[in-house]
Amino acid sequence: MNSSSAGSGTGMPSSPGCLSANADKPRTRAMDMSSGVDGLTAGLALAAAGFGASAFFVGAVSSLQPTDIISVKPKRTATPAARLRCRPPRRSVTSMERRGDFMNFSPWIGRRIDTCSERFVAIRTMAAQRFSIHDLTKLQRGVVFRCLDRPGVVFPPSLTQVASLTQVANSSEPGRDSSVSKGPKKKKADTDLQAPRGTRDFYPDDMRRRSWLFDIFRRTAMQFGFEEVDAPMVEHAELFIRKAGEEIVDQLYHFEIHDRHLALRPEMTPSIARMIIAHQGGMRFPIRWFTLTQNWRYERMTRGRRREHYQWNMDIWGEPGVEAEAELLSAMMTALDALGLARGKVHIRLNSRRLLEESLRDGVLADRPQAFEPLCVVIDKIDKIGAQAVTDLLCETTSEKGEAIGLSPGEAEHVLEMLGARSLDDAQKFAASESAALNELRQLYDLLDAYGIADQIPFDASVVRGLAYYTGVVFEAFDTAGTLRAIAGGGRYDRLAETLGGKPVSAVGFGFGDAVIGELLEDEGLWPALTRPLDDVVYAFGPDEKSAAIRVANRLRSEGRKVELCLGVAKLKRILGDADKAGAQNVYIIGEDERARGVVKVKDLATQQEHEENLDAVRAAETRQP
């Protein structure tokens, strides 16, 4: 059918009567596809114009292989006036498919109109599309037939139906046609008003606590000469995969857009490393940076572990000596002390992966040095699963995740004996002769003694940290009662920059999350009683006094006061009560009498004393303090 026949409706029924009269007469028409508009474009245009999901779908599949001959066998019975759903019967489709004939469904695409005659007028204005049944996959053929035969396909279609049909048309996977709507459009579910699982809302009281905690973190870092930096929350997923391996993908909030694989950052260290590498040649080392960032990690939740959390990081780049570790450990203890948690309530356990590696590679791992990192991952679980379970994992000869370690029972027992060392003298029994790692630890403890914190940082050979990129000293902070997971942790990672494609540079740092410390502060009753940061309240009795109240509020704010100007109309008694609960010092009251006399009444909420001041001479309350 050429363009002129499409406009006149050649071969198309013009009324319900035509449909009934011609129902038994299959019609054959030649089609001209020289218009330059392919089937997919036409189908998209018809769907966008509101002619339905079938128009979109038929247009999509028609672009596969157009033919010159089309057989049309209309349905015998007309559809109800409210909805047009003309389709070939299932039996006709099956027989025609077996014979290899061709089908054209597009004349039966319409839109929701009030009368049958108007529907057929709409049909006559549409360009017919065609395709060969045998040029479609079995899946696509079935979808075409079923989508026109199913009462769920309505006109105009829902966006969900259009998306589903498009997805199926472009797929060759078995069973994908199940995504086609099988019934009437379901009622849209009510919006879920809860925050996604593992995330939090911060109301004013929560924000005051968070700000108090972050102020301590920030103040501590600045006391030690660190500078604050930040990075995008969205990073290339490859950055985290190269650092932690492919298994990290299961814990990422990640997505693909415009051929880029992106992810919400699960931690800050890789981003800091990327920033260092980007300007590595022009930087002066050592670098002291700290961050306070929101991170996302999709993992199993426990007490103190959320999928969204904030973390304080402090990192030193370019200092290979243990002086960097000592400085960071002192900063961590300073922050814990400011939180009221240092002496007797929290301790930091310290070890060296380098020491453990030296001891094992000269012993049980002499013939399999590549098993050291998997062994550290297993050892890191000892507090969670117990010594016996760790022994079983060390002796496994096959593993679904990673490389099996395959120690003998005797070798596994020797490893557990090493992990039981709780002093450097104990570690000396297992260390290699003239161990550089052990000498490094002795030097570190001398520095910690100078800081006055050595007694709060015991040696513990079982601390290895599960992440593979640690290369030397590692440490973790725990509550003394042992009721929570690690509060903070860190260590040295001298090979991270090189792993990510940069030049080798030494680095050490720690991460201190807000979730576990928040739980501990709650358990210990150490959250301070934080009130709304408000100094003064200005209250006007009526609209005539509003201008004077605004002048008073502006003057107080210009002097650095935190001032709330009462809006609307409320009783003075309520204003005084709310101001007192908010911790305000004064309430400035302007009524008709005060405005007439050019004064403002000031009530001191602490002493309940009142006095008056000239409206043009109001000064902040602190200037009146003795």
pLDDT at position 507 over 80:
yes
| Contact assessment for residue 494 and residue 321, using Cβ atoms and an 8 Å cutoff | no
Q: pLDDT tens across 330-356, in order? A: 999 999 999 999 778 999 999 999 998
Q: Can you give the pLDDT at residue 146? A: 52
Q: 249 or 272, which is more confident?
A: 272
Q: What is the dihedral of CA 353, 355, 359, 361, to 10 degrees?
A: 50
Q: 154 or 115, which is more confident?
A: 154
Q: Say whether both 517 and 561 belong to one domain.
A: no
Residue 494: burial class (beta carbons within 10 Å; 0-12, 13-18, 19+): middle
Q: Say whether both 250 and 273 belong to one domain.
A: yes
Res. 564 pLDDT band, cuts 50 70 90: very high
Distance set, CA 597 to CA 169, 603, 616 (Å): 81, 18, 12
Please tell me whether residue 474 adopts helix, strand or coil conformation.
strand
pLDDT at position 578 over 50:
yes
d(C-alpha 225, C-alpha 528), whole Å:
27
Strands 507-513 and 308-317: antiparallel
Tokens of 272: 């800091």
Res. 31 pLDDT band, cuts 50 70 90: very low
Please tell me whether residue 472 adopts helix, strand or coil conformation.
coil
pLDDT at position 565 over 80:
yes
Q: Which amino acid is at 89?
A: P
Q: Can you give the pLDDT at residue 188? A: 58
Q: Say whether both 506 and 578 belong to one domain.
A: no
Q: Say whether both 156 and 214 belong to one domain.
A: no
Task: State the chain's mean pLDDT as an integer.
Answer: 76
Place of tokens 């090493």: 418
Query: Where a domain ends, among 470, 493, 524?
Result: 524
d(C-alpha 355, C-alpha 365), whole Å:
14
- Positive or negative, the CA dihedral 278, 283, 288, 291 is negative
Q: In what order do the strands lie in the sheet with 308-317?
A: 227-228, 287-296, 308-317, 507-513, 488-492, 473-479, 346-352
Q: 53 or 419, which is more confident?
A: 419
Res. 616 pLDDT band, cuts 50 70 90: confident
Alpha helices in 295-433 (DSSP H): 323-338, 353-361, 372-379, 382-385, 387-395, 409-419, 424-428
Q: Taking Cα atoms as reference points, which of 296, 273, 326, 271 lies closest to residue 475?
A: 326
Q: pLDDT tens across 356-379, in order? A: 888 887 777 777 777 777 888 888
| Contact assessment for residue 418 and residue 432, using Cβ atoms and an 8 Å cutoff | no
Q: pLDDT tens across 310-330, in order? A: 999 999 999 999 999 999 999
Query: Where a domain ends, among 466, 499, 524?
Result: 524
pLDDT at position 83 over 80:
no
Residue 58: burial class (beta carbons within 10 Å; 0-12, 13-18, 19+): buried
Q: Say whether both 147 and 257 belong to one domain.
A: no
Res. 398 pLDDT band, cuts 50 70 90: low
Q: Does residue 462 form part of some domain? A: yes
Q: Can you give the pLDDT at residue 215? A: 98
Query: Residue 126 sits in which domain range?
Result: 3-179
Res. 393 pLDDT band, cuts 50 70 90: confident
Q: Does residue 520 form part of some domain? A: yes
Q: Say whether both 406 and 549 belong to one domain.
A: no
Q: Does residue 246 form part of some domain? A: yes
Mean pLDDT of all residues in 76-89: 40
pLDDT at position 147 over 70:
no
Q: Of the segments 117-131, 386-400, 549-563, which one has the largest average pLDDT value? A: 549-563
Alpha helices in 265-381 (DSSP H): 269-278, 323-338, 353-361, 372-379
d(C-alpha 349, C-alpha 428), whole Å:
18
Q: DSSP string of 143-207?
A: HHHHHHH-TT--SSPPHHHHHHHHHHHT--STTGGGGS--SSPPPPPPP--SPPTT-----HHHH
Tokens of 297: 């990690």
- Residue 286: asked if its preceding bond is cis (omega within 30°), the reply is yes
Q: Does residue 531 form part of some domain? A: no
Q: Is the pTM of this model over 0.95?
A: no
Q: Can you give the pLDDT at residue 187? A: 57
Q: Does residue 189 form part of some domain? A: no
Q: Say whether both 511 and 584 belong to one domain.
A: no
d(C-alpha 585, C-alpha 603), whole Å:
8
pLDDT at position 35 over 70:
no
d(C-alpha 405, C-alpha 394), whole Å:
6
Strand partners, 72: 27
Strands 536-540 and 563-565: parallel
Residue 309: burial class (beta carbons within 10 Å; 0-12, 13-18, 19+): buried
Mean pLDDT of all residues in 532-541: 95
Residue 248 CA to its chain's centroid (Å): 14
Q: DSSP string of 206-228?
A: HHHHHHHHHHHHHHHHHHTT-EE
Distance set, CA 325 to CA 100, 183, 306 (Å): 78, 64, 28
**% of the chain at pLDDT higher than 90:** 48
| Across 187-196, 213-222, 265-274, least confident range | 187-196
Q: Say whether both 403 and 447 belong to one domain.
A: yes
Q: Can you give the pLDDT at residue 70? A: 36
Q: Does residue 593 form part of some domain? A: yes
Q: Does residue 374 form part of some domain? A: yes
Mean pLDDT of all residues in 179-191: 55
| Contact assessment for residue 84 and residue 51, using Cβ atoms and an 8 Å cutoff | no
Mean pLDDT of all residues in 574-591: 95
Q: Can you give the pLDDT at residue 477? A: 96
| Contact assessment for residue 304 and residue 516, using Cβ atoms and an 8 Å cutoff | yes
Q: Say whether both 479 and 370 belong to one domain.
A: yes
Mean pLDDT of all residues in 529-549: 93
Q: pLDDT tens across 586-600, in order? A: 999 999 999 999 999
d(C-alpha 573, C-alpha 6), whole Å:
79
Number of domains in the chain: 3
Res. 461 pLDDT band, cuts 50 70 90: very high
DSSP state of 76: S
pLDDT at position 32 over 70:
no
- H/E segment holding residue 30: strand 27-30
Please tell me whether residue 490 adopts helix, strand or coil conformation.
strand
Q: Say whether both 384 and 293 belong to one domain.
A: yes
d(C-alpha 366, C-alpha 411), whole Å:
12
Res. 432 pLDDT band, cuts 50 70 90: confident
- Positive or negative, the CA dihedral 572, 575, 579, 585 is negative
Q: Can you give the pLDDT at residue 283? A: 94
Strands 227-228 and 287-296: parallel
Q: Say whether both 485 and 607 belong to one domain.
A: no
Q: Say whether both 272 and 416 belong to one domain.
A: yes
CATH of the domain at 394: 3.30.930.10
Distance set, CA 8 to CA 266, 545, 610 (Å): 63, 76, 91
Alpha helices in 29-154 (DSSP H): 39-48, 53-62, 90-99, 116-124, 138-149
Q: Does residue 185 form part of some domain? A: no
Q: Of the segments 63-77, 197-211, 383-397, which one has the largest average pLDDT value? A: 197-211
CATH of the domain at 578: 3.40.50.800
- Residue 156: asked if its preceding bond is cis (omega within 30°), the reply is yes
Q: pLDDT tens across 8-29, in order? A: 343 443 433 333 334 344 443 3
Query: Where a domain ends, among 179, 212, 242?
Result: 179
Please tell me whether residue 24 adopts helix, strand or coil conformation.
coil
Tokens of 34: 């020289």
Q: 280 or 179, which is more confident?
A: 280
Tokens of 287: 């670098």
What share of residues in the chain are helix, strand, coil (percent, to 5)? 45, 15, 40
